[in-house]
Amino acid sequence: MEKQETEKKIAQLQVLEQNLQNFLLQKQAFQTQLVEIDNALEEVGKNNGAVYRIIGSVMVVSDKEDVKKDLESKREVLSIKIKNVEKQEEKIKDKASKLQADVLDVIKGGDEGDK
C-alpha cells in the first residue's frame, strides 16, 4: 500500500512540475508584454509630434494622452497578472517541496529497511 501511495505522490510531483513550467512560461510572456508597454510609454513620452496606434492592420493617428492612459492601464493589468502567477507559483512550490520531502522520507526509510 505504501508503494502505491509513494508512486501516487511522485505522479503528483510530476504534474506540479508541469504546472510550474506552464506558469513560468506564462509569466515570461507577461513580462515580455510589460517590457514592450514600458518601451512604448517611453517613446510616447519622448514624442512631441503625432502618436499612432495600430488597430488591426491599420495605423491611425491617436490622442497622445489616450494612448498613454491605455498603455498605463495595460501595464497595471499585466502587473496584477504577474503577481497572481507568482502567488500560484509559490503555492505549487510549497506543495511540491512537501510532497518531495514525503517521498524522500519513504525512500530513505525503505533503504534503511533493506540493510
Q: Give the side-chain half-sphere CA count within 13 A for 33.
A: 18
User: What burial letters (b/e) apply to 77-111, b meaning 16+ CB within 10 Å?
Assistant: ebeebbeebeebbeebeeebeebeeebeebeeeee
- Give the H or E element holding residue 60: strand 58-62
Give the start-to-end residue ranges of the domains of the chain: 2-114
Confidence of residue 58 (pLDDT cuts 50, 70, 90): very high
Confidence of residue 112 (pLDDT cuts 50, 70, 90): low
pTM of the predicted model as reported, rounded to 2 decimal places: 0.80
> Which range among 9-18, 23-32, 105-114 shows the weakest confidence by mean pLDDT?
105-114
Average pLDDT over residues 61-84: 96
Instruction: Quote the CA–CA distance of 39 and 100 in Å, as a whole number.
Output: 41
Whether the pLDDT of residue 1 is over 80: the answer is: no
CATH assignment of 2-114, given 3.40.718.10, 1.10.3720.10, 1.10.287.370, 3.30.2270.10?
1.10.287.370
Percent of the chain, pLDDT > 70?
A: 94
Task: Work out the number of other CB atoms within 10 angstroms of the CB of residue 20.
Answer: 16
